[in-house]
Amino acid sequence: MSASGSGIVPANGLQIAYETFGDRGSRPLLMVMGLGAPMLTWHADLCGLLAGRRFFVIRYDNRDVGRSTHLHDAPQPDIRGALTRGDVSSASYTLDDMAEDGFGLLDALGLTAAHVLGASLGGMIAQTMGARHPERVLSLTSIMSTPSPALTSTTPQAGAALMRPPATSREESIARAIDIARVIGSPGYPPDDEWRAELAGRCWDQGIDPPGVMRQWMAVQASGDRTEAVRGIRVPTLVVHGDSDPLVNVAAGQRTAELIKDARLMVVPGMGHDLPRAVWPALVDAVCELADLAAPAR
């Protein structure tokens, strides 16, 4: 499905790029993507499925990725200091700031509230949105995410795959993306190498910003353990996690669901740190059921 609208708007002091799918009069659904991943990572076909179920789907580029503002003049992130000494003073922003970007986008689009769905880092941002301004979050779907970096339990293989040096050519970037997907992806489903190659090529053409990815990573570290904030979430919540996720262990999803009162937990057998096409129908059904429980936008 093709996007029904797109643009770049001022939001929270930045410029945020977005695309929409479906009818503006439908239920607004804000989709928040993960670390270093542009909105293109939300497959247009998945957005189309959601739009077909009476959602006005909004996908967007987080700060420091895609066509949104990149903080090129920000201090260099001290990754070693964060890992070895817990020193996060070089972080340029936190998850709170990234959550406000999402609310700023809703403001720019004239929306008082929305259903919010996030994956991985995007799930952390979505959780933060639900904790900070529950009156603006109609429902929350947290996918392959965590309330605390300490719960991720990343496997050595997954960690090594992500720590490989950045690609220096379009061809290398495509090959790297396919290799990473085979390490962190879903062992219970066939890999979609064609889609991964297309996505990696489009991301390369749009521009790759490794320091921007590190700034996003530092935002997670600087935000630390968010257990108490997540415990306070009171919006209808769905937690989705694969039982074979090597990047963010399923225990992190289980803990998220434990913390949030009345949250529904959906553990997907054979799913890793991605969203295989075969999982989409069940996911869309679950998101629709959750939205039906929520109060309408005010």
Q: pLDDT tens digits for 16-62?
A: 999 999 999 999 999 999 999 999 999 999 999 999 999 999 999 99
Q: Is residue 182 included in any domain, yes or no? A: no
Reported confidence tier of residue 4, pLDDT bands at 50, 70, 90 = confident
Comparison of pLDDT for 73 and 82, the residue scoring more: 73
- Domain extent for 22: 5-153+210-293
| % residues pLDDT > 90 (the chain) | 89
Q: What is the pLDDT of residue 77?
A: 87
**Region 105-128: what's the mean pLDDT?**
98
The SS3 of residue 165 is coil
Residue 186 placed within a domain: no
- The predicted structure's pLDDT at residue 298: 47
Structural domain includes residue 158: no
pLDDT in tens, 131-158: 999 999 999 999 999 999 999 999 999 9
Residue type, 292: D
pLDDT for 19 equals 98
User: In the prediction, which pLDDT does 1 show?
Assistant: 66
Neighbouring CB atoms inside 10 A of 61's CB total: 26
In a domain, 42, yes or no: yes
* Res 123 pLDDT > 80: yes
pLDDT at 187 over 50: yes
- Find the DSSP H helices in 93-192: 95-108, 121-132, 156-162, 170-184
CB-based contact 91:79 (threshold 8 Å): no
Domain assignment present for 189: no
**CA 231/CA 233 separation, integer angstroms:** 6
> Residue 175 pLDDT > 80, yes or no?
yes
Task: Give domain status of residue 34, yes or no.
Answer: yes
Separation of alpha carbons 116 and 83, rounded Å = 31
Query: What's the CATH number where 104 sits?
Result: 3.40.50.1820
Q: How many domains does the chain have?
A: 1
Question: Is there a domain that residue 163 lies in?
Answer: no
Average pLDDT, the chain: 95
H-helix segments, 185-277: 193-206, 210-223, 227-231, 250-259
User: What value does the mean pLDDT take over residues 96-104?
Assistant: 98
Tokens of 214: 């590190």
Strand 137-143 relative to strand 114-119: parallel, antiparallel, unpaired? parallel
**The pLDDT of residue 291 is above 50:** yes
pLDDT at residue 297 in the model:
53
Cβ(13)–Cβ(100) below 8 Å: no
Ranges 81-85, 185-189, 224-228, 280-284: which has the least confidence: 81-85
Q: Considering the domain boundaries, does residue 161 fall inside one?
A: no
Alpha carbon distances (Å) from 230 to 58, 140, 145, 248: 24, 11, 12, 17
Residue 87 near residue 143, CB atoms below 8 Å: no
